[in-house]
Amino acid sequence: MFVLKDKIDVPLYIQLYQQFREKILSGDLKSGSKLPSSRKLCTDLRVSRNTVDMAYNQLYSEGYIISKPRNGYYVENLDFSSIHITRETFYEKPAVTDNQNTLTQYDFRYGKLNQFELPIDQWKKLTNKCLRDFADEMTIYGPTFGEFSLREEILKYLQYYRGVKCTADQIFIGSGVHYCLSMLCQLIRGTTTTVAVEEPGHHITRRTLENHGFDVKPISLDSSGLNLKDLSLTNAKAAYVTPSHQYPLGIIMPISRRLELIEWALKNNSIIIEDDYSCHLRYNTKPVQSLQSLCSDKVVYIGSFSKFLFPTLRLSYMILPKGMVDKFTRMFDGYPSSVPFVIQKTLELFMKEGHWESYLRKTNRMQKKKHDTLVENLKKEFGDKITIYGMNAGLHLLVQVKGTMSEKELIERAYMAGVKVYPTSKYWKCPENSLDSTVVLGFGGITLDEIEPAVKLLNKAWFGGNSKYKDYCV
């Protein structure tokens, strides 16, 4: 029995998706069960065929159901027997609440945002309001976990958008993802000497763990993300993952692999560190709900505002499992917040007044346009001369160029043509295993109008017979 409400802000297809997901998680819909046809369901529920198709597509993209040609959709074979999953679903919407070289014409730097797409004027107004109205609060050190009123706003946002299960007391606000990770490293140092990481994965994350004395074990990836067989062969009691959009390859971890990872954590009394760095930027389907929403007791959840707002704000958050909060509080009692009060308060007002939600919608539309334009132009210019990794999400693509050019040669030739692209080999702990002839193209900082001429220059640089490099031409 499905009940859809047309007088709430949640789209009908999302309501239907959530109710199907709940029935699968609870076991009401058994593995192998056939789902009603789209035609029958839209007739029974009196909704459009498109509503049902979108709900089924979301379930399919997350791995809850499978499609059998000319036979319909069936529930995937999933084992929930050893996992206690928190199943509350939130239906109600929260209340509104590198210096450039003169040679460079176009810069595909990952992590850069375009200043003209940022809410700078609104942020200025709110900052001035905070400086005017909360001057007295700036005369004392703030709480270790961050301002409670901001944590409440973050909680409402994460419950609605990411399905997280926690209280405001479990949320820690820190100056960037790697600051949060550094605090976590100190917390878990006595429970493990080894942390498993994705291979490839973010090199600064790996460096942070190593700087805190951990033995970092690189774990290979397959089409579903972290390879659990390789993970089980280590003595790691913690695993760092980016399941919503693996960095840098862009793999989306399906529900079956998420359940296996949780089972590993439960059996080995281990923790999972979930970095949800670009969770909103899914361009064809709704973002997959967080890993933390499936098992909040074994997942440390880390997220950031810097990837979407202003990178230099260095404002991130970490959700600790309930069992780790007391130890964290004892260890860091008296530590002042690492994020300035005025920044926290400005963000609180930015969220409370509805600007954050509006900005997310706006930036997702813009980044989708840039993503689609970049993919279209790469395919048009290069055809089968390249392979593209990580499409349909995030703020970057990996482009592997067929032929004999090395990563270094690709970067140098692009630079001489006026375009900056970036290496991928640094993301592998073992660089000898990296993808050959592959570069990163970040599109967050480039404008929509710059994409086509930039890609044309790349084609000219790599396949246009540049005299300096003509011996390398493929």
Tell me which of 401 and 102 has the higher pLDDT. Answer: 401
Residue 88 lies in a domain: no
How far apart, in whole angstroms, are the C-alpha atoms of residue 373 and residue 283?
A: 13
Residue 46 lies in a domain: yes
Let me know whether 134 and 281 are in one domain: yes
Question: Residues 188, 193, 194, CA angle at the centre, nearest 5°?
Answer: 100
Distance of CA 181 to the CA centre of its chain: 16
Let me know whether 221 and 150 are in one domain: yes
Give the pLDDT confidence score for residue 174 in this predicted structure. 95
For residue 101, pLDDT over 70 is answered with no
Let me know whether 330 and 398 are in one domain: no
Give the pLDDT confidence score for residue 97 in this predicted structure. 47
Residue 86 lies in a domain: no
Percent of the chain residues topping a pLDDT of 70: 93
CATH of the domain at 127: 3.40.640.10
The boundaries of the domain holding residue 50 are 12-75
Let me know whether 137 and 222 are in one domain: yes
* DSSP annotation of 393: B
Let me know whether 220 and 321 are in one domain: yes
- Strand duo 215-222 + 194-199: pairing: parallel
Instruction: Dump pLDDT digits (tens) for 328-357.
Output: 999 999 898 999 999 999 999 999 999 999
Give the pLDDT confidence score for residue 7 in this predicted structure. 65
Instruction: Dump pLDDT digits (tens) for 414-471.
Output: 999 999 999 999 999 988 889 999 999 999 999 999 999 999 999 999 998 443 444 3
Which residue from 468, 349, 335, 351 is spatially nearest to 413, judged by alpha carbons? 468
For residue 103, pLDDT over 80 is answered with no
Residue 298 lies in a domain: yes
Mean pLDDT, the chain, whole residue set:
89
The distance between the two most distant Cα atoms of the chain, rounded to a whole number of Å, is: 69
Instruction: Dump pLDDT digits (tens) for 135-194.
Output: 888 777 889 999 999 999 999 999 998 999 999 999 999 999 999 999 999 999 989 999
CATH of the domain at 68: 1.10.10.10
Residue 279 lies in a domain: yes
Give the pLDDT confidence score for residue 289 in this predicted structure. 87
Let me know whether 289 and 433 are in one domain: no
Let me know whether 332 and 222 are in one domain: yes
Give the pLDDT confidence score for residue 310 in this predicted structure. 83
| Domain stop point among 337, 354, 371 | 354
Give the pLDDT confidence score for residue 470 in this predicted structure. 41
Residue 5 lies in a domain: no
Give the pLDDT confidence score for residue 114 in this predicted structure. 85
Burial of 347 (0-12, 13-18, 19+ CB in 10 A): buried
Buried b / exposed e over 21-45, threshold 16 CB at 10 Å, is bebbbeeebeeeeebbebeebbeeb
Confidence label for 86 from pLDDT (cuts 50, 70 and 90): low
Which residue from 217, 181, 215, 214 is spatially nearest to 197, judged by alpha carbons? 217
Residue 33 lies in a domain: yes
* DSSP annotation of 388: E
Confidence label for 206 from pLDDT (cuts 50, 70 and 90): very high
Average pLDDT over residues 356-378: 93
Q: Could you count the other beta carbons within 10 Å of the beta carbon of residue 100?
A: 10
For residue 369, pLDDT over 90 is answered with yes
Q: What torsion do the CA atoms of 255, 234, 181, 271 make, to the nearest 10 degrees?
A: 50
Which residue from 87, 80, 74, 83 is spatially nearest to 21, judged by alpha carbons? 87
Give the pLDDT confidence score for residue 87 in this predicted structure. 55
Which residue from 313, 316, 323 is spatially nearest to 275, judged by alpha carbons? 316
CA distances 323 to 257, 263, 264, 298, Å, are 25, 18, 18, 9
Whether 460 contacts 416, CB under 8 Å: no
Let me know whether 368 and 266 are in one domain: no
Give the pLDDT confidence score for residue 100 in this predicted structure. 45
Let me know whether 293 and 254 are in one domain: yes
Query: Length of the chain in residues, anyone?
Result: 474
Q: Which residues 6+ apart lie within 8 Å of 98 measured at CB?
A: 109
Let me know whether 321 and 424 are in one domain: no
Which residue from 134, 115, 162, 161 is spatially nearest to 291, judged by alpha carbons? 162
Tell me which of 217 and 25 has the higher pLDDT. Answer: 217
Q: Could you count the other beta carbons within 10 Å of the beta carbon of residue 70?
A: 5
DSSP element (H, E) containing 133: helix 120-133
Instruction: Dump pLDDT digits (tens) for 262-296.
Output: 999 999 999 999 999 877 788 877 778 899 999 99
For residue 44, pLDDT over 90 is answered with no
Question: Out of 55-69, 74-88, 304-318, which region has the weakest mean confidence (pLDDT)?
Answer: 74-88
| Domain stop point among 21, 53, 75 | 75
CATH of the domain at 397: 3.90.1150.10
CA distances 156 to 91, 144, 178, 330, 350, Å, are 12, 20, 24, 26, 14
- In DSSP terms, 387 is beta-bridged to 400
- In DSSP terms, 241 is beta-bridged to 274
Let me know whether 218 and 129 are in one domain: yes
Let me know whether 370 and 303 are in one domain: no
Residue 263 lies in a domain: yes
- In DSSP terms, 399 is beta-bridged to 388, 439
The structural domain count of the chain equals: 3
| Domain stop point among 311, 332, 354 | 354
171 three-class SS: strand
